Amino acid sequence: MRSGEARLSVQVADIMNCLHTVRAQLQPHCRAASGPQPCCRVAATRSRPRPLPHVAATALKENPQNTPNPQVMPSLEFTPRQALQAQLEAISRNDEPWVDHGVQTMYEFAEEAGSMERSRYFGFSKELTVSENLLSKVTDKELLRTGGLIGGKWSQATSGATFHVHNPATGKVIATMPKMKADETLTAIAAAHAVFPTWAKTTAKERGAILMRWYHEIVAATDDIAAIMTAECGKPLAESKAEIAAGAASVEWFAAECRRVTGDVLETVDRGRRMITLKQPVGVVAAITPWNFPMSMITRKVAPAIAAGCTVVLKPAEATPLTALALAELADRAGVPDGVFNVVLGDAPSIGHAMMSSETVRKIGFTGSTAVGKMLAEQAAKTVKRVSLELGGNAPFIVFDDADLEQAADGVVASALRNSGQTCICANRVFVQNQVYDQFAELVAARVAALKLGDGAAADTTHGPLISPAGVEKTTAHVSDALSKGAKLLVGGDVPQLPEPLAGGNFYSPTVLAEATIDMRCFREETFGPLIPLFRFQEDDEAVLMANDTEYGLAAYFYTRDLRRAWTIAEQLEYGMVGLNEVAIGSEVAPFGGVKQSGLGREQGSHGLDEFLEVKYLCMGLSYS
């Protein structure tokens, strides 16, 4: 091994109390360099039961000198101090310390001329930026996993390939993850399949109890998960915490909903027969989730699947895997058995193909683009998998002349610019009746002008970056197209020049365009960026026609105080979800999903649990010969 580098495997992740001691003892072995050099790596293995940080600290105080044989693999009771001392002795002899290849979580410390200039915590860069510093402030370091979870073991890619996770506020790398492919996916599917018969036989009470423990683990870790989410996704901390609350609510709901699953006794037409229906889990579920809501998109799939008695293989988005891994860690602590919840990371085409071609996988849950959803549906047909698809949207937002304009202006800004416009149910096209158009435009522009763009970790930031440069490019293209066709710029419309370290971030100023028309790209295409285009209409029917003039049908919104108009418009809108004087339409108790090319099936509520259940009909003959 190189001088100045060692791998130290321990059983407890939170060993910060030991680090100063370790550093002092390793100092003689570290060579000075012109740039940062790795000095030591401390890795934390997964074990069950997992010692808590205060337990580890107590053990260190009670047994500070207990040193094991460094040539022997440590036992489960091995304390951090014991493991570290063993590694130090190995270093002093220039031996290669033992390595647990299941280890995924690490501290890395760097030296330059004897001073701590740069640190890396669990593979995450500690830069002099607010959001990246968030990761160093995560109190529960075991939540910072950097590997997949397969059959209860934290795993790396067999090929050794990796990919980077970037902070969208700065563009800098904050983590390196294993780039898994088909082999690891098939292993995860096999693990899920192996445990399915046992898990399916558990009672609803047992499954609900485990889900409730998972819920409490999530709630307790809210601050840490929010820090992780903001660092990798860019959304403000307040939005991250709101998403965590929503995701936890899904877990809590399905923990109770699984007890409400019932069959039916059918009225017979034959005195010699009795007929009933049962509901049973579909089997192994593959879940593919996006980056814009890296927690709630997972819990609304994984929680009902587990509640139904299914096992799951999850593939989170490459841009935001850290939140998914934190959730998996918490699920493990809650007692979710090995193999029931698996996570694979990396190559989307390879992983997706393995999931879709596997005859073991019986159900696919996907949230993402319509183009990818169509491809998955086509592939699923080859093995007749059940499919739930939550796809693209192009949500209309209609403001009638009798609306409460202040309330409507608040609503459109909240909806259109939530997560910087990166949500599938964002208000994309705002239709305003002529009589109130100018007044409403002024109200919206004033609200948007008051927003604060910046690092999601900063206290005064209202809106963060887009997830990637591609998002900035698409928003720029939509704004440029609209302006070239006669739209008027009221607010924004530019890529802001932010100071370092945000100069490399994926920012676009929240933008309001007046006099938008139906020949513009922002009418036909989903922008997925911070853009509010305002269209005019005169008659109610005209608004409905424009709203429905899209291949999508996920969510729609309208504001009116007229009861007759409310019922009429709601019935005419071709959308799976409609908000009347309300934009916060998502709820764990209500079905979430769309029509047309916005998807198939529903998530959340009792409908969401039914997606993971098969109906079995049982006919019993009572006649005997």
Q: Is pLDDT at 252 greater than 60 in this prediction?
A: yes
Asked if residue 195 and residue 144 are part of one domain, the reply reads: no
Asked if residue 427 and residue 383 are part of one domain, the reply reads: no
Rounded mean pLDDT, 586-610: 97
Residues marked active site are found at 390, 424
Rounded mean pLDDT, 301-317: 99
Asked whether residue 623 is assigned to any structural domain, the reply reads no
Instruction: Quickly state the pLDDT bin for 137 (edges 50, 70, 90).
Output: confident
Asked whether residue 264 is assigned to any structural domain, the reply reads yes
Q: Is pLDDT at 56 greater than 50 in this prediction?
A: no
Instruction: Quickly state the pLDDT bin for 443 (edges 50, 70, 90).
Output: very high
Asked whether residue 41 is assigned to any structural domain, the reply reads yes
Asked if residue 144 and residue 195 are part of one domain, the reply reads: no
Give the Cα separation of 130 and 137 in Å (integer): 11
Asked if residue 365 and residue 291 are part of one domain, the reply reads: yes
Asked if residue 187 and residue 171 are part of one domain, the reply reads: no
* 109 vs 192 pLDDT, higher one: 192
Q: Which domain holds residue 415?
A: 395-587
Rounded mean pLDDT, 564-572: 98
Q: What is the total count of domains within the chain?
A: 3
Asked whether residue 434 is assigned to any structural domain, the reply reads yes
Asked if residue 399 and residue 386 are part of one domain, the reply reads: no
Q: Residue 148's pLDDT is what?
A: 98
Tens digit of pLDDT for each residue in 63-108?
434 333 333 323 333 333 343 344 334 333 443 332 232 323 322 2
* 270 vs 592 pLDDT, higher one: 592
Task: Please state whether beta strands 395-399 and 511-516 pair in parallel, antiparallel, or not at all (unpaired).
Answer: unpaired
CATH code where residue 559 lies: 3.40.309.10
Give the Cα separation of 139 and 135 in Å (integer): 9
Please name the amino acid found at residue 53: P
Asked if residue 109 and residue 54 are part of one domain, the reply reads: yes
Rounded mean pLDDT, 457-479: 96
Q: Residue 132's pLDDT is what?
A: 55
* Burial label, 458 (beta-carbon count in 10 A; 0-12, 13-18, 19+): middle
Asked if residue 246 and residue 374 are part of one domain, the reply reads: yes
Asked if residue 476 and residue 444 are part of one domain, the reply reads: yes
Asked if residue 185 and residue 85 are part of one domain, the reply reads: no
User: Of the residues 176, 205, 227, which one is the last residue of a structural domain?
Assistant: 176
Q: Residue 547's pLDDT is what?
A: 99
Most confident of 9-13, 51-55, 125-129, 222-226: 222-226
Give the Cα separation of 308 and 614 in Å (integer): 10
Asked if residue 363 and residue 222 are part of one domain, the reply reads: yes
Tens digit of pLDDT for each residue in 5-44?
333 333 333 333 343 343 444 343 333 333 333 333 223 3
3-state secondary structure of 69: coil
Asked whether residue 200 is assigned to any structural domain, the reply reads yes
Give the Cα separation of 171 and 231 in Å (integer): 11
CATH code where residue 383 lies: 3.40.605.10
Asked whether residue 621 is assigned to any structural domain, the reply reads no
Q: Residue 554's pLDDT is what?
A: 98
Asked if residue 324 and residue 193 are part of one domain, the reply reads: yes
User: Of the residues 144, 176, 208, which one is the last residue of a structural domain?
Assistant: 176
For 130, the token pair is 């607010």
User: Of the residues 176, 194, 219, which one is the last residue of a structural domain?
Assistant: 176
Q: Which of 87-96, 206-215, 225-234, 299-308 has the lowest average pLDDT? A: 87-96
Q: Residue 477's pLDDT is what?
A: 98
Q: Residue 269's pLDDT is what?
A: 86
Asked whether residue 622 is assigned to any structural domain, the reply reads no
Asked whether residue 410 is assigned to any structural domain, the reply reads yes
